[in-house]
Structure 1
Amino acid sequence: MSPPKILVVLTSHSQLGSTSKKTGWYLSEFSHPHHVFESASAEITVASPLGGTAPLDPSSIDAAKDDSVSVNFHQSKSSLWENTTPLKEFLGKAKEFDAIFYPGGHGPMFDLATDETSQQLIKEFWEEGKVVGAVCHGPAVFVNVKLDDGKYLVEGKRVAAFSDEEEKQIGLDKEMPFLLETELKKKGGKYESSEDGPWGEKVVVDGKLVTGQNPKSAKGVGEEIMKLIGK
């Protein structure tokens, strides 16, 4: 049997709203799913809107300093995010993959949420019956995706994502172009959050859509993606 093939899409955005802080994709939200994928011998391809180096949120490196999976990933896998392929090159190629996955970090809120190439790619994967997943701020990529029937992808579907309360607790709710939980609900998504409240783990599977609430949910999202692929 051929190994499962997964397309991982990272943000190209590095500026955190109107602040002077840098952002990008969040280390543990790629490292832990990657560990799951790699353990299943998956072939992993990494893309971003602009190609080249996808910016890693520097704060996520410090946050993961005691996380051996993330530390090892950061030290040994930099070629994955320093040599990404432009997203447009994957249009029309959904049949070549088993799943598409979007890590979070605040970056996707600013570029991938409104990126028309990303929206088309997600639509192609979904309508080919492929697994579609995202974690934390990653589900921002779904808020503007419409299917052939004119409905939003998330309409009527159970979804998890970084909560409005979590955004407020870290003091960045005013810096975001929108609040993710609120926007998913506006588009008809059935938002769910952890029974443990903010920062608790929550992974939601609805058909072939897999979403997770926050960094703690990243490994679980990776595991559910692999279960759906059947590997």
Structure 2
Amino acid sequence: MAHVARILMMLTSQASMGAGGAPTGVWFEELSTPYYAFVDAGVAVDIASIDGGRVPVDPHSLHPSGKNPASVERFLRDEAAMQKIANAGKVDELAADDYAAVFLPGGHGTMWDLPGSRALADLLGRAWADGKVVAAVCHGPAGLVNVKDAAGRPLVAGRRVSAFTNSEEAAAGLADAVPFALESRLRELGAEYVSGPDFQPCAVRDGRLITGQNPASSEAAARLVLEALGESAQAEASR
């Protein structure tokens, strides 16, 4: 994958569920698992967030040392990676031209700040128009709801998309805490919503659009991103 300049991982800056709500942020495994899938494939990874600076981490996604998923343990020991989430770039200072793909990890924080960011919607719209890969997992697809394609239609309209299900939200006890139901919103926008059993891996690729249902889907979503990038590289090489 040496031909790939870099992938942008775009994270939430929202540290609470609404004003004065429970603490939230990025779900660590949805960051760490794709991050190392990309890095281990030889791809450079930049990390940014809506506001830049220190990225809030959902405390429920972290456990005592030795009890986390392997990718989380690795990230916590990786000084360079930890510096990236301590000093994330800011979305409105970035350009889609610099990246081969943009990946949106989840965590409930994304439900508040990703949909309302015009800078993010513009970045993703430009990336899509330029033939880049756009990907998201779990609540990360909240960042897609205001993105338009070149024809001015919702990017997700008519495309196969997965995300955290309404039933998973209810099982987590947060259906009344989030500002909207992500599955329902995607359906309203015309997406062909795809899901598997609750809390089981499910990732779907529709051309250059890749989405995963939940934290367990992070690895599969990352693999699909690398697959799409590999196909793009082959297409370019054959021209």
TM-score calculated relative to the size of structure 1:
0.94
Displacement of 1:86 in angstroms is: 0.9
Which residue among 74, 80, 103 is the counterpart of 2:84? 80
Structure 1 unmatched runs, 5+? none
* Contact 1:18–1:175 (8 Å) recurs in 2: no
Q: CA deviation at 1:19?
A: 6.2
Instruction: Tell me which stretches of 4 or more aligned residues in structure 1 moved more than 4 Å.
Output: none
CA distance in 2, matches of 1:24, 1:132: 21
For 2:164, the equivalent position in structure 1 comes to 162
Which residue in the other structure is 1:36 paired with?
37
1:59-89, Cα deviation, whole Å (9 max, x unpaired): 1012993412211212322112111111111
Amino acid aligned to 2:129: E
Tell me how far apart the structure 2 counterparts of residues 3 and 18 of structure 1 sit (CA, whole Å).
40
Is the Cα contact below 8 Å between 2:4 and 2:100 reproduced in 1?
Answer: no
Instruction: Using the aligned pairs only, state the percent identity.
Output: 37
In the TM superposition, what is the alpha-carbon distance from 1:17 to its structure 2 partner?
Answer: 3.3
How many residue pairs match? The answer is: 227
How far apart, CA to CA, are the structure 1 residues paired with 2:163 and 2:216?
A: 12
CA RMSD of aligned residues (A): 1.6
Letter in 2 for 1:100: V
Q: Alpha carbons of 1:58 and 1:72: their partners in 2 closer, same or farther (altered >3 Å)?
A: same
Unaligned runs of 5+ in 2: 234-239
Structure 1 residue aligned with 2:47: 46
Distance 1:143 1:65 in 2: 34
What is the letter of the counterpart of residue 200 of structure 1? Q
Mapping of 1:80-229 within 5 angstroms? 80-90=84-94, 93-194=95-196, 197-229=197-229
Contact 1:161-1:180 within 8 A present in 2 as well? yes
TM-score norm. by structure 2 comes to: 0.91
